[in-house]
A = this chain, B = another copy of it.
Amino acid sequence: MDAIVYLAPICALLGLLFAGYSFLAVRKEGEGTEVMKKITAAIHHGAMVYLNRQYRAIALFVVVLAIVIAAILPNGVLTAACFVLGAVLSATAGYIGMFTATSANGRTTNAARRGIAEAFRVSFASGSVMGMSVVGLGLFGLSIAFIGLSNFLPGMDEYTIVNILAGFSLGASSIALFARVGGGIFTKAADVGADLVGKVEAGIPEDDPRNPAVIADNVGDNVGDIAGMGADLYESYVGSIIATMLLGASTAAVFFPNVSLMNVILFPVVIAALGIVASIIGSFFVRTDKAESSAIHMAFNKGLLVALALVVVATYFVTNAMLGEYGFGVFVATISGLVAGFLIGQITEYYTSFERKPTLEIAKSCQTGAATNIITGFAKGMESTVFPVIVISIAIWIAFTFSGLYGIAVAAVGMLATLGISLAVDAYGPVADNAGGIAEMSHQDPHVREITDTLDAVGNTTAAIGKGFAIGSAALTALALFSAYAFAISKGGETIVMDILHTPVFIGLLIGAMLPFLFSSMTMMAVGRAAYEIVVEVRRQFKEIKGLMEGKAEPDYESCIAISTHSALKEMVAPGLLAIVAPILVGLVLGKEALGGLLAGSLVSGFMLAITMANAGGAWDNAKKYIEQGHYGGKGSDAHKAGVTGDTVGDPFKDTSGPAINILLKLMSIVAVVFAPLFL
């Protein structure tokens, strides 16, 4: 075993140390006034209740699936162990991130009383905890598992070891399923439920503490945008690394004949390790004391660019050292993924920012009513698939040309190399958003709210970019896992061909293309049902709790949180089962090639649907905000009402169904990889 393998756990630990350092930076800040403390505590408590309930449900699921794996797969017990490890570490990262974010919300509000620099520092530190926990725990876990398997099972070949390691990725996917799908349902049920009764029926403002669902709504922001996003990207991160290791183990002898097999397998791990260090260094460049949103954008960009540049330079030397004559090709493949990730984020930003043409056109269409707003937004969402497809196509074409299917997987690793800092930027947004809510509820000075609003506005942009990045990386990870699946079913030396003209493959393609539509439909209807339960509960409290509307009595926040939690967990069972059962069923009934078709079909149609829904949703949201700034009649005008309708339609699009497709694509691919022996 090369010494280089130990680089990964060391860098991962560095990342975790930085997470700890950032956590202390958050906790150093004071908690503020009594009211602020109370609200923060309520959100924090609600989030922890949700997580505990969710993790209990997950534990059951993980145990059952682990037993199945152990029972039916070759090396089942070891695979099941990796599976449990991957799941536990993802859950831990989510727990840390949520714990920090929900205690950083109020502290950010408190810091905003002193100025923007302090508030920014606290909220970004909270994001860094999430970012670094995800990459640190992900890389630490999988590298330690690899080292353990290699050292304690000396008779086992590398390919088998990496195959066992795939269980780790399946564990990550399982948590992501719960966190993203369940979390997506939770957050939108609470949001829509709170708005429908509070804003629309009772006529009280958003974030009003009299609304019984307001805390659930705040908890939801964290559940969806922090735990959900974190688990999604943890899954991509781990999945892309393991897919590359699998492809390396399968193809090294043929495509990298003069290179040590271990180097080919470990290369993605090393890049990820160096990416953590680059992210830490980049994070130190993220600071500003200017009160404009442009300065905050600039600070983020500086940090991200430093990290990116470091990774590029490091990759150049690492590829050379580890892969010799093939180094340059792999270098180009890595960079192509890195650049593609950056570009897809920018495209998303273009399509959803209200400083750009598409969203402005959508806002304009609100003048002629809700219907034209919906049509325009949906059309722009569909149009927004064009450039991401072109970018991804060019990236995989370059990666493939320069180093084959291994190159495509490496591109995914490249895209995610700086996840430590890019996820930190992403996870900062919801904290700023919630800080604004707490400022409102605790009746702070208007200038405090102004500061949190500035931070929140930047957060909206970074959230849009983050969503595009999450979809792009999910697609590339799913593609890498799909390629790995092809090798997993070719054991015995036969060349696997998934010929579209072979009818079972085409049928797989057709069924695969349908699944994201069905999955989205299920998650969308689930939000509707869950929101309806919240509506009923809020109406009940308004009616039954005397003095609530006058501010003399307290609403029962916890019951709304309990309902959201319960609905989310109940409603995610059906789509979750679909994602796991569909690939296994197709593989068993129609054969292994048909399952390949299914993966490819769901990948291409799911990619389009996810982008359409995420961008249409984001653009509707910002079109409404643009009108609220006073355009086309401003708040309360007919155009504004049309804008609100679009925003409400967009909510489950962008926060539930769209992001859930990421999980569907990756989960089905890793299920195919892990259960491949069943289809031989």
Binding site for B on A (CB under 8 A): 196, 200, 365, 368-372, 374-376, 378-383, 385-386, 389, 392-393, 396-397, 400, 405, 408, 479, 483, 486, 496-501, 503-507, 509-514, 517-518, 520-522, 524-525, 527-528, 596-597, 600-601, 604-605, 607-608, 612, 644-646, 648-649, 652
Contacts and interface: CB of A to CB of B under 8 A. Distances in A.
Q: Which 9 A-B residue pairings sit nearest by Cβ, starting from the closest?
A: A371-B648, A513-B604, A400-B503, A382-B521, A383-B521, A379-B524, A382-B517, A498-B500, A389-B514
Given A375-B649, A648-B371, A501 B497 contact: yes
Most B Cβ at <10 Å: residue of A496, A512, A601: A601
Given A500-B500, A500-B505, A500-B597, A386 B518 contact: yes
B514 A513 contact: no
Contact of A510 (B378, B383, B393, B512): B393
Contacts of A510: 389, 392-393, 604, 607
A669 to B, nearest CB: 13
A509 B368 CA distance: 37
Contact of A397 (B389, B503, B509): B503
Contact of A521 (B380, B486, B497, B504): B380
Nearest to A612: B517
Contacts of A379: 520-521, 524-525, 528
Most B Cβ at <10 Å: residue of A514, A527, A600: A514
Contacts of A501: 405, 483, 486, 496-498, 596
B528 A376 contact: yes
11 contacts: A372-B648, A375-B649, A382-B524, A385-B514, A396-B506, A397-B504, A408-B503, A500-B505, A510-B607, A513-B605, A601-B604
Most B Cβ at <10 Å: residue of A200, A521, A648: A521
Contact of A370 (B370, B400, B507, B601): B370
Contacts of A374: 374, 645, 649
B511 A513 contact: no
A385 B510 CA distance: 10
B507 A397 contact: yes
Given A393-B507, A512-B604, A513-B607, 13 more contacts: A370-B370, A371-B648, A372-B648, A378-B524, A378-B649, A383-B517, A385-B514, A389-B513, A393-B510, A486-B501, A500-B505, A509-B600, A517-B612
A612 B381 CA distance: 16
Contacts of A509: 600, 604
Contacts of A380: 521
Contacts of A525: 376, 379, 383
Given A604-B509, A605-B513, A370 B645 contact: yes
A392 B508 CA distance: 12
Contacts of A527: 375
Given A382-B518, A497-B499, A501-B496, A528 B365 contact: yes
Nearest to A380: B521
A518 B371 contact: no
A506 B601 CA distance: 10
A396 B496 CA distance: 23
A351 to B, nearest CB: 12
B520 A368 contact: no
Contacts of A500: 498-500, 505, 596-597, 600
A506 B521 contact: no
A591 to B, nearest CB: 12
A524 B365 CA distance: 13
A235 to B, nearest CB: 21
A217 B369 CA distance: 21
B524 A375 contact: yes
Contacts of A375: 524, 527-528, 648-649, 652
Contacts of A517: 382-383, 385-386, 608, 612
A486 B500 CA distance: 10
Contacts of A518: 382-383, 385-386
Contacts of A396: 503, 506-507
A437 to B, nearest CB: 22
